[in-house]
């Protein structure tokens, strides 16, 4: 799984939306995030947009995730985008 900070179409380079992607393997610029449950990766350049300690909680009823840090809520209804097919097609 990869944590992303999507800035496309957000105007300013500091504005973005957090997201989750299911990937087959980490990208060349990805670094591993310490996680007790499963491997999570993030692009090293996007890591600056997140706090050092994050909490990810799933909601089965809405099939979304909630991402928050110690000092802020990043996103309450993140969906998991499956990017494995896209990688296989390229």
The confidence band for 89, taking pLDDT boundaries of 50, 70 and 90, is: low
- pLDDT exceeds cutoff 70 at 13: no
| pLDDT tier at 32, thresholds 50, 70, 90 | very high
pLDDT exceeds cutoff 80 at 24: yes
Q: Where are the chain's structural domains?
A: 2-89
> For 39-86, what is each residue's pLDDT tens digit?
899 999 999 999 999 999 999 999 999 999 999 999 999 989 998 976
Query: What are the angstrom distances between the C-alpha of 88 and each of 6, 22, 80, 85?
Result: 21, 13, 18, 5
With a CB cutoff of 8 Å and minimum separation 6, the contacts of 19 are: 3, 4, 5, 6, 75, 78, 79, 81
Q: Given this model, what pLDDT does residue 85 score?
A: 75
Q: pTM for this structure?
A: 0.79
Give every strand in the sheet of 80-82, ordered side by side.
30-33, 40-43, 2-6, 17-22, 80-82
């Amino acid at each position: 799984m990869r944590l992303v900070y999507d800035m496309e179409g957000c105007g300013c380079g500091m504005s973005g939306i957090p997201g989750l992607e299911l990937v087959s393997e980490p990208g060349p610029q990805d670094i591993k995030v310490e996680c007790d449950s499963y491997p999570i990766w993030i692009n090293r350049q996007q890591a600056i947009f997140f706090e050092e300690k994050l909490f990810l909680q799933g909601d089965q009823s809405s099939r979304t995730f909630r991402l928050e840090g110690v000092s802020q809520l990043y996103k309450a209804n993140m969906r998991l985008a499956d990017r494995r097919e896209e990688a296989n097609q390229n």
